[in-house]
Structure 1
Amino acid sequence: MTDPASPDPARSFGSVADSYDRGRPSYPTDAVKWLIGDEPCSVLELGAGTGKLTEVLVGLGHDVFATDPDDAMLDILSEKLPDVRATSGTAEQIPTGDGLYDVVIVGQAFHWFDHAKALAEIGRVLRADGRLALIQNERDERIPWVRKLGKLIGKQESDFDPTAILDDSGIFSAVEAQTFRHWQVVDRHSIQDLVLSRSNIATLEPDAQDRKRREVLAFYDDYGRGMDGMQLPYNCRGWHAQVLPHAQVAISTSSTTGAYEVVELDEEPQPGVPLAKRTDTAVRLPRVITDPDGGDDDLLIDFR
């Protein structure tokens, strides 16, 4: 049974926003291109955090509206990307009008959502031919030292697959999936930020967080890599699906089943209200180096 007084892991990242921005990996450009396509389009990003994925989207020329429930995370995003519209909001109550976006994209956050409510909202804000795109980085724990790191910092969402959730919703066409390989350089500083940015660690008491940080630092120092760093391998998994034509989704009034009701519309959805630009308040933070040189031949090397 969950302790009602314990912190909500899904809302724990604001307290470690700086560490999240410094320690978490970005996303490979090829993966984002595959998810969205080659042509610039209007993109709504849910769970945008500090803008790891947003930076890639903007670099590809997309018009992005970024949302996240945590203002501390969005402050960092807005400092890095002051021209991006960004505001507080949840996937279960998206702060925008109907039928406005070509793509709704979610990076590393879909598993936190109330899926019934969130998919109803996503169906509402997408255009008739719009697309839902999901992307998630997973450490490649086939490599011995990465597996040891995983045991120290906690389980990742490696078993997560949204295909059944999207199929069962009745809102989307068949799901397509693809996996992309990439690497993140972690050094003696950023590996500490990586561990502190984990929700299972961010919700600990400060003394317990510090013990875990020192434990991971000792693990890193034991490999003797120093400031040269390590290449931490990731499998970046992506899924996308088209919204079914003219389908508007409403949640059932049943509080126990959370069932979907799909209603066919005879007319196009109406445009919503304009989006406000947020005020920037954060201090810019350094970006994590991603996509370093390396290949499959290096993957199975244990750095010890």
Structure 2
Amino acid sequence: MSGPSDARGPAATPALSFGGVAQSYERGRPTYPVEAVTWAVGARPASVLELGAGTGKLTAVLAGLGHDVFATDPDEKMLDILSAKLPEVRCTVGTAEQIPTGDGLYDVVVVGQAFHWFDHQAALPEIVRVLRPGGHLACLWNERDERIPWVRRLGELIGQQEQGPDPTTILDDSAMFSAVETTTFRHWQTVDRVSVQDLVLSRSNIAVLPEAERERKRAEVLAFYDDYGRGMDGMQLPYNCVGFRAAVLPHARAGLAPTGADQSTGRSAGPATGDGLAPRTNTAHRLPRVVTDPDDGPDSDMLLIDFR
């Protein structure tokens, strides 16, 4: 989770820097086009686990399309915003490396703008574990179209994307997933004099800077916007939403120990919390976080419930 904001920035680690700039993230970051989300998840209502859900940018589109979404994020402050705007969506604190749910419950695992933060060696077996047979992983990534000169100049000011978005090599090397399919969807975000400042402040490379440097960078971007001459009317910032999806291979789960297996049948018992939990509507009512006891061996069926 993010630490408290101070003169050195909201957090020392980029991956955990977003909680201190959660409001800026919500106001400044783009959404995801419906067409991209439909491609990633499918047209029919599905059971979807979202990793790195943040403030719910992608979650809102998923829920709007009728999918049953369980959202997770390592940062409490990001989930506060998600819950406030999407009170019907279940969510809890959790990481991709230790997903807080039982085995084989989801048709799709989706990740928006977060796959690069994962410890992939630990996260990929967890993703395989929670997917149903025939399930798949989908990753979406919004990239500014910097072929356009003024967009390229903006990118130079605020910094490039944290890391490359393409998970293909990682998924191929894991031998757990089918060949990765990819496609791109064009969309635009309207930014104005206020939201362009939030866009820069929400960047992880900016969030970790000392306060004086963050303010200097904000002022540079604001001056750039004002020079562009659009004022409060806003301008259209072009994005390419790049999608990746790959299905779990049939053999991938063979070597995974179930988190809640019935020792007499070998079947997964599912999450200790059940699938009928009430939605999280505020931070005082957190869904249980289900974790396997790491000291109990690979054949253990013991679960620990950590109420956060």
Following TM superposition, where does structure 1 have runs of at least 4 consecutive aligned residues deviating by more than 6 angstroms?
A: none
Within a 5 Å distance, the mapping from 1:97-176 to structure 2 comes to: 97-157=102-162, 159-176=164-181
Contact 1:181 1:236 in 2 (8 A): yes
d(CA) in 1 for partners of 2:251, 2:266: 8
d(CA) in 1 for partners of 2:43, 2:267: 25
Residue 65 in structure 1 maps to residue 65 in structure 2: no
Contact 1:128 1:268 in 2 (8 A): no
- The CA deviation string for residues 5-58 of structure 1, in whole angstroms up to 9 with x for no partner, is x71100000000000000000000000101111100100000000000000000
The Cα of 1:157 is off from its aligned counterpart by 4.6
The Cα of 1:249 is off from its aligned counterpart by 6.8
d(CA) in 2 for partners of 1:250, 1:224: 59
Residue 217 in structure 1 maps to residue 211 in structure 2: no
Contact 2:137 2:248 in 1 (8 A): yes
The Cα of 1:241 is off from its aligned counterpart by 0.7
The Cα of 1:279 is off from its aligned counterpart by 4.0
Residue 92 in structure 1 maps to residue 97 in structure 2: yes
d(CA) in 2 for partners of 1:191, 1:90: 29
Contact 2:17 2:204 in 1 (8 A): yes
Aligned residues: 263
Q: 2:280 matched to which residue of 1?
A: 278
The Cα of 1:170 is off from its aligned counterpart by 1.0
Within a 5 Å distance, the mapping from 1:232-243 to structure 2 comes to: 232-243=237-248
d(CA) in 1 for partners of 2:269, 2:213: 51
Residue 29 in structure 1 maps to residue 34 in structure 2: yes
- The CA deviation string for residues 156-208 of structure 1, in whole angstroms up to 9 with x for no partner, is 15743111111111111111000000000000000000000000000011111
Contact 1:123 1:249 in 2 (8 A): no
Unmatched runs of 5 consecutive residues or more in structure 2: 1-10, 257-264, 285-308
d(CA) in 1 for partners of 2:217, 2:254: 44
Within a 5 Å distance, the mapping from 1:236-251 to structure 2 comes to: 236-248=241-253
Q: 1:20 matched to which residue of 2?
A: 25
The Cα of 1:278 is off from its aligned counterpart by 2.6
d(CA) in 2 for partners of 1:130, 1:180: 23
d(CA) in 2 for partners of 1:86, 1:117: 21
The Cα of 1:82 is off from its aligned counterpart by 0.3
Q: Which amino acid aligns with 1:28?
A: P
Q: Which amino acid aligns with 1:244?
A: L
Within a 5 Å distance, the mapping from 1:34-53 to structure 2 comes to: 34-53=39-58
- The CA deviation string for residues 218-273 of structure 1, in whole angstroms up to 9 with x for no partner, is 0000011011111000010000011112522769xxxxxxxxxxxxxx97644223
Q: 1:7 matched to which residue of 2?
A: 12
- The CA deviation string for residues 144-167 of structure 1, in whole angstroms up to 9 with x for no partner, is 000000000001157431111111
d(CA) in 2 for partners of 1:281, 1:115: 29
d(CA) in 1 for partners of 2:29, 2:221: 15
Decide which of 201, 205, 212 is 2:206's aligned counterpart. 201
TM-score by length of 2: 0.82
TM-score by length of 1: 0.83
Q: Which amino acid aligns with 2:34?
A: T
Q: 1:296 matched to which residue of 2?
A: none
d(CA) in 2 for partners of 1:226, 1:126: 47
